[in-house]
Every structure is written in structure tokens, then in C-alpha cells.
Chain A
């Protein structure tokens, strides 16, 4: 490539002006343009992370299916056998659908929280939109989620729950879950930079969150009425409740549930994005 060609080629953003960030935020449009242009980086980072996690195990990538199966087994033991209460016939399918979606969100959160601090050296050396790092964690969580749906489908067929056409509406609900998970990932990534205990607290917070979300119980369980409107403070009530009703029961969910889920997910994403972008200049000096 001749030098003249390099100068003409504006593919790499050959002309840069660096000025103080207004209100702490980088210029928005160039930021997202660069983010989009470098999306291959987020994907490649996710792939190499996945490869290296199972690099030295006997089962390798098979763990992506073994994990959800074991998880399903553990909760089946816990709820169906130990509690001895008679559950509806679709309970196990409901439990799995909720668990797998919940673990997707939890994956966005734990992956997101570690994404910036573990990329330390790359952040010191290269200028790129840092948001690619937590987004890569969301992609990892999604790649881990996909095989769990195969496990779910198998269980739904075996337990005669089946899959109705309404279940297709679970896809937009899952997208809202992804939006919510991204927002949480961005928030936790920022929190982890300033407060390194975040990742240590996270598993406990996640565990409690699982128990108060409609995973082990149905979103219309009797005791929900006693809790009253407080239940709506849990974003996962509408998100996971709607997801389970659509996917497992094949019920159309009420409009308020869609609206509540959309408000929580996009609100969290907006908050996460603003917090993350306004702090990301700091990352290079805080790591």
C-alpha cells in the first residue's frame, strides 16, 4: 500500500481530534460508529474466551450442554423430590425455561463485571470504544444460552408440554432480557473498576435474585398477592414471568407485562450506557 493511498483511505478514521469530553461523555456518533465497525472484535474476544475456558477439560465444548443438564437435575431434585408437594405437569419445563433465561442474565452480569478489569493491558495500549468489552460478555452468555434451549425443547417434548405457536412471542421477550442483561453488564463493569468487591458480592446477590424471581414459582402464584405492588420492583418479575408464560404455557401475556418489561430493560440499558460511557475515560488510569 503506498503512502498516498493510506492518506486518502479514511477507512481507519485517519483524522482524529481529541477534545475534552462534554459532560463526561465522548462524542456520541463517532463512538457508536467505531463500536459498530469493531463489532468483529467483540465476537472474536468472546470466541477466544469460550475456547480458553474449556481448553483443559476432558469434555471441552460439551460442557455447554452438560452444565444446563446438571443444573436442571439439581433443581429437579431440590423442588420436585424434596418438597414433595404436587406440582402442575408443566412445572419442570417452567423451571428449566426460567432457570436458563435467568442464567443468561446472570452470565451477562458476571461476565460484564469482569470484562473491563480483566482487559487491563489492552485498555492501556489501544483506543477503542470500551463498551465492546461488556458487549462481548453478553455475546458469551448468549452463546452459552443457545444449547440450553435444546435441553429445554427435549424436556418440553418428553413431559408433553409441547411448544405452541404463541411461544414464538417468547423471542421478543428474550430480546428484552438481552437488553436488560446488557444494561446490567455495563453497570457492573463500571462498578467493578471502582469497587473490586463487586464480583465477590455478585454470586450471592444473583442467588437471592433467583429466589425472588418467577423461576421456582409461577408469576401468578398465590403469595404474590400478599407482596402486592412491590413485586414490580423486580425487573425480572415481568421479564421472566412473561418469558415463562409465553414459552411454556403458550399464553398471551397482558399488555402491561410487555410494557413493564420494556421499560425495565430499556431503562436499565440507557442508565448502564450513560454510566459506562461517562466513566470510561477513567478506566485507563484506574486499572
Chain B
């Protein structure tokens, strides 16, 4: 519960000694057959994942924080916790401002209904009113450059069109804080440029951003602050080039065409 002592201005995002564990199964879809087979083999299907361990950091307003690290380092889990999707197991996260999320590709859309309906549904789920969404609709449709496709079911969209619409929705809802997870591969080169420009514009308006990416080049170019996470722990926090150097030395690959590429 918010208490008055937390109200005075401080960092926009404050992550305080946060641990996130969850129990999950090995199977993608738990079914009866698998359950019976496992019982026969006396295996336990549930396993505890300690995705984030004692992580603390603050993000001041207007900064662009990049989070890098290997697969399974807990980056996505941490960002989901900041978005309020996965509450922490211990510790606490304070977020001041309106959050917009772009987590995982092709996010939040129902392929059976049109792009227009999806924009409305996504906006309503995120807590916007019909009027607010209607206000932004033209801008979103214009930015995504989907033309007549907006009124077709989304199963007719290419994956690039999917990502373009997702990006357009996330950046046009006037967020104070934008959380982006691996979603910059949206569309073609031209759209990528447009997306980067839009994000720079948001930062120019003193909005805050967290960017999770494996594309170290993107982090270096777009962020002014960076975190490297490894196996759930925060390794270092510093300016992006330094963090990237430490990380690449750690994984012993060095900066190469692959790590800098926007994948």
C-alpha cells in the first residue's frame, strides 16, 4: 500500500532489494499424460526458479537504462516486475508514473480480431478510457503505417506489421515510463529508424525508459545508463560502454558483428 512517506519526489523507479522466485513446470503445457508419466518415473515436475536475487537500483527521471545479460539472467522477469505483472517475492518496487510496456514480440494481440479492435482492447486492459484511446487512434494507425490492414483480422498481418502496431501503441499512450523488452527488431530498417527517432523524442520529453536488449549496439547508442545482470544478480551498473566492455569480457566473446547486431 502507498504510504505518505513515499510521496516526495525521488527516482521514478526504485527497485529495493528485490528477489523474485517462482515455481514452474518443465512442460510447456501440463497435461494428464505427462503427469502420469512423471509419476511413473517419480520425477518432480515443479521447480523453483530464483530469477532475480537481491537486486536494488534507482532510475532517475529522463534516463534511458539498458539492461544486458545472457539468456536466463532474469532481465525479462525484472522488467515484468517493474510493470506490475509479476510482483516481487521479497523486497519492493516503487514506480512513479504511467507505465507503457512492450514486452516480448507480437505482444498482447488477438489474431482473430482486427488491428483497430486490438488497439482498443489493449488500451482498455492497460486502464485507458475509450475516449483517450479514440484520441490517440489516428496517430497510432498513422505511425504503424498499416493502412487498410487496420480493419482486417490480425492473422492476415506479417510479423513485421504485428511488431509495428505493438510499438506504435506502446509509444503513443503518453507513458511516463516505457518498458521495452527485445522489441526493437520491429519491422524493416526504415521502421527501425523511425522507432529509434520516436524513442529519442520521448526521452527528450523527460520520459524514462528501460530497454532490455541483446543488441549491445542498441544499448550503446540509445542508453545513458546500463545494468548487467547475470544469473539473477546485478553485476555492475555504470555508463553503457563500460558495462558492455565488462559483459563482453566476461562472456569472452568480445564485441563482434553478432553482439552488436540488432537481433
Contact = CB atoms under 8 A, between A and B. Distances in A.
Interface of A: 1, 3, 6-7, 12-21, 26-27, 30, 34, 37-38, 40-41, 44-45, 48, 51-52, 55, 121-128, 132, 194-197, 281-282, 284-286
- Interface size classification for chain B: 35 or more
B174 A6 contact: yes
Contact of A122 (B23, B96, B108): B108
Interface stretch (B114-122, B216-224, B252-260): B114-122
Please name the 4 residue pairs, one residue from A and one from B, whose CB atoms are nearest each other, closest first: A127-B84, A41-B124, A125-B107, A125-B108
Contacts of A128: 125-127
B121 A13 contact: no
Given A285-B24, A286-B24, A16 B95 contact: yes
Contacts of A125: 85, 101-104, 107-108
Interface stretch (B25-33, B229-237, B243-251): B25-33
A44 B176 CA distance: 26
B6 A52 contact: no
Contact of B97 (A7, A121, A195, A286): A7
A12 B127 contact: yes
Contacts of A13: 127
Query: DSSP majority for the A interface?
Result: helix
B38 interface: no
B30 A196 contact: yes
B121 A41 contact: yes
Interface in B86-115: 86-99, 101-104, 106-110, 112-113
A282 B98 contact: no
A34 B127 contact: yes
B87 A44 contact: no
Nearest to B23: A282
Contacts, number: 154
A125 B35 CA distance: 29
Contact of A124 (B98, B104, B153): B104
B81 interface: yes
23 contacts: A14-B97, A15-B94, A17-B6, A19-B87, A26-B87, A38-B127, A41-B121, A52-B110, A121-B109, A122-B107, A122-B109, A124-B103, A125-B103, A126-B83, A126-B85, A127-B99, A195-B31, A196-B29, A281-B22, A285-B49, A285-B86, A286-B24, A286-B25
Nearest to A282: B22
Contacts of B40: none
B32 A197 contact: yes
Given A16-B2, A281-B22, 14 more contacts: A7-B176, A16-B93, A16-B99, A20-B87, A41-B124, A121-B106, A122-B109, A122-B122, A124-B104, A127-B83, A195-B30, A197-B32, A284-B80, A286-B24
A44 B121 contact: yes
Contact of B96 (A1, A15, A55, A197): A15
A286 B206 CA distance: 36
B107 A121 contact: yes
Contact of B22 (A44, A51, A194, A285): A285
B189 interface: no
